[in-house]
Homo-oligomer: A and B are copies of this chain.
Amino acid sequence: MICSHGEGKHAVIIDLTDMRIPWAATSAPPDRSWGSRAGVRELALRIGFDMHFDVTGPAPTAFLLMLYAHPDVAPQLDAPERLAVDPALDLETFVDAFGNTCGRLVAPPGPLRVSHAGVFRCAYENEPQPEPSARQHHAGELPTAALPFLLGSRYCEVDRLSAVAWDLFGKLPTGGERVHAINRWVFENVRFGYRLTRPNKTALDTYVERTGVCRDMMHLAITFCRAMNIPARYVFGYLPDMDVPVDPNPMDFAAWMEVYLGDRWWTFDPRNNVRRKGRILIGRGRDASDVAMVTSFGGPALQTMSVIAEEIPA
């Protein structure tokens, strides 16, 4: 999601050193062990994006960018990401409240291009999924970092959807089985369509309308999980079309979710409902309102955007 707001006048240099906050502290360290696992080869992905803006004036406009591989996975890049900015402008980076790497720049009126190309390496294998028996934790035993992901948030009305969630999933065993059922229910009952969303669409809207984009589907599944006392968070990033039918639509970033069961976070994707290879995390938060890709404090229009994430042939 691209947000824009306000106006700007002249640039100020900001010195913000990298820092980590507790909410991101429970992530697993990046896994680089695939080379030593029998039968698992490396997957090398060419990733990147190219965004063209038209900054309307008269004042310079500030931008916040959430377009870097997340610190949890950044070590799997061949080289640290440096976004290309044209015209050449100062680009400061900082880590936000949820542990996401962000950039900030101030652009004068006129065209602005922000782009990146890099290589990301991971195991050529499907992402893990918890067993149906994976254990659900009581709030008292959850890490503090997971607690905020039990609460309602802007697009996830946990209180409003609580009775519905219990109707649909309350008779199933707790833990992995419930989360798999939630994932399946959203996949089967919410029809995907690019035009079937709107900026203020909430989980309850998606529940009653049964339509949406990946963002809406995540909000609904996340809300159901939280209503069942299972921490769930919203994430987005690159999702290459590995070993799945080719999607004829232009590639875009994708949203998915992470759910806490059995002492760790797991990836779930009710938009696709299959285990995938090569997801690359960019941003993580309570819902889409925490992870805007680009926020502009002025009126620049995004002119074009292209995204790539594809295997580099051996």
Contact = CB atoms under 8 A, between A and B. Distances in A.
Given A97-B23, A138-B59, A139-B298, A5 B158 contact: yes
A297 B150 contact: yes
A37 interface: no
A208 B160 contact: yes
A138 B64 contact: no
Interface in A216-246: 229
Interface stretch (A6-14, A45-53, A254-262): A6-14
A174 to B, nearest CB: 11
A214 interface: no
A16 B62 contact: no
A154 interface: yes
B297 A62 contact: no
A163 B206 CA distance: 11
Identical subunits present = 4
Contacts of A209: 160, 163
Interface in A267-300: 289, 295, 297-298
A169 interface: no
A210 interface: yes
Most buried by B among A14, A95, A153, A154: A14
Contacts of A210: 163
B94 A8 contact: no
Given A22-B19, A97-B98, A139 B208 contact: no
Interface in A83-113: 92, 94-98, 104, 106
A144 B106 contact: no
Closest 4 CB pairs of A and B: A8-B140, A9-B138, A97-B97, A139-B297
